Structure formats: C-alpha cells, structure tokens
Amino acid sequence: NAGVTQTPKFRVLKTGQSMTLLCAQDMNHEYMYWYRQDPGMGLRLIHYSVGEGTTAKGEVPDGYNVSRLKKQNFLLGLESAAPSQTSVYFCASSYGRKNYGYTFGSGTRLTVV
Amino acid sequence: TQLLEQSPQFLSIQEGENLTVYCNSSSVFSSLQWYRQEPGEGPVLLVTVVTGGEVKKLKRLTFQFGDARKDSSLHITAAQPGDTGLYLCAAHRNSGNTPLVFGKGTRLSVIA
C-alpha cells in the first residue's frame, strides 16, 4: 500500500526554468493538497482540489499552477522558477473535507539557484 | 495573523522525562488534529480531537482538547528518543469548509 507518492524527491533548478511535481495516491481519496514547508513559516497551502477536474487557490498560490485530470494524480507546476520557491513541497490527500486526517507524501526538496 | 500558536518552539529533554506542548488560538474549532513529522518525511496523523474537554491517549501520548475548543495540549510521559520529531497541530478555518491550517510546530529532541 503506497499511500501518497511524490516524484521527484530532489531537484535543483536554475532561475527561470520550469518543472512539474507529480503526486499520486492509491487510496481513492477525493481531496488533494499541495503545501510548502519553509523554516520558521511552517506548512502553507499552495493549491488544493476537491475532486477530479477541480482546483482552488490556497494561501500562497502565486507562481504555481496545478491540474487534477485524474482522481489519483495532482500535479504542481512552476512555470518560471524563482529562488523564493526554494522549499520542501508536500502533497497530501484526504477521504473527506472535515475531520478526516491527511495522508502526506515524503516531500520534494526543491532548490532554485 | 497565525491561526494556531504552538509553544514551545523547541524542546530538548532527557530520556525518561515528561513534557507538555501546547496549541493555542483565539478561534473556536469543531476539531483539531495533531501530527508528528520526522526528518525527511511528511507529517503523520496522530489523533483528531472533536469534543470540548476530550482526552485521547495513544500509548505514552495524551491529547486534550480545551473545554472551549480553542486550544489543545499534548503530554508525553517518559519520553524516548523515538519521540524525537516536529509536532504539528492543525485545524480548519471557517467551520471545516477549507483545508487544514497548520501551526509552526514544536521541535522535540529526546536525548538518550
């Protein structure tokens, strides 16, 4: 039972480059989320999805785009990476909206130079 | 404004000691969750508390939800090195209609 799988685990980008982070879950969860974690800032929500084909903005959406074409996958894109996007990115999923625990992936450590 | 304030930020104790960490807010929540995160991994759910005054136990960990549902505490009895990690509390804004918001966490180090 894999749970939530994130790829890649590590990546170094040059300023201005683009990339896509992939999140896949095998628990048939309806809800999926992208957070970033920075020292002193905690986990902050970037975008989320309440079902296949839907996306919504979180607390820090600027510079990111997302897509949820299949229920099990949630993609996070950086069109033109900036050093401020250096962070650890976590994907999570949940069965329901309220009072359900989130299952997190193990993260993608991204460095933008 | 931080929705959830966690204290202390850092805690370093000897194996066998007891400790309590806190999660406070001025808002009322329908529920609150606690997670533990180990280095290089994502957070893992420990417990969800729903009722004001509720106490839940998970082996040596005791979680309490405040009577007014604005705060919560996590007490660890006889801490072990395996308890080392970042403890995060989380709750929903707006009565659960939005995703979880997380506190900044308490980083616990248990020294053998």
- Per-residue pLDDT, averaged over A68-93, amounts to 97
pLDDT for res B94: 66
pLDDT for res A1: 64
Mean pLDDT for chain B? Answer: 94
Query: Cβ(A77)–Cβ(A106) under 8 Å?
Result: no
Per residue of chain B (112 residues), give pLDDT as tens: 678 999 999 999 999 999 999 999 999 988 999 999 999 999 999 999 999 999 999 999 999 999 999 999 999 999 999 999 999 999 987 666 789 999 999 999 999 9
Neighbour tally for A79: CB within 10 Å: 12
Pairing relation of β-strands A108-112 and A87-94? antiparallel
pLDDT for res B38: 96
- CA proximity to A81, closest of A3, A7, A30, A18: A18
Q: How far is B31 from chain A (nearest CA, A)?
A: 7
CB contact under 8 A, A103 and B102: no
pLDDT one-digit tens code per residue, A16-75: 999 999 999 999 999 999 999 999 889 999 999 999 999 999 999 999 999 999 999 999
Nearest CA in chain B to A32: B99
Pairing relation of β-strands B106-111 and B10-14? parallel
pLDDT for res A2: 76
Strand order in the sheet with A19-25: A4-7, A19-25, A73-78, A64-67
Place of tokens 């650890």: A88
Shortest CB distance from B42 goes to which of A31, A98, A106?
A106
Pairing relation of β-strands B44-49 and B100-102? unpaired
Place of tokens 């069965």: A95
Q: Does A104 touch chain B (CB under 8 A)?
A: yes
Neighbour tally for A31: CB within 10 Å: 20
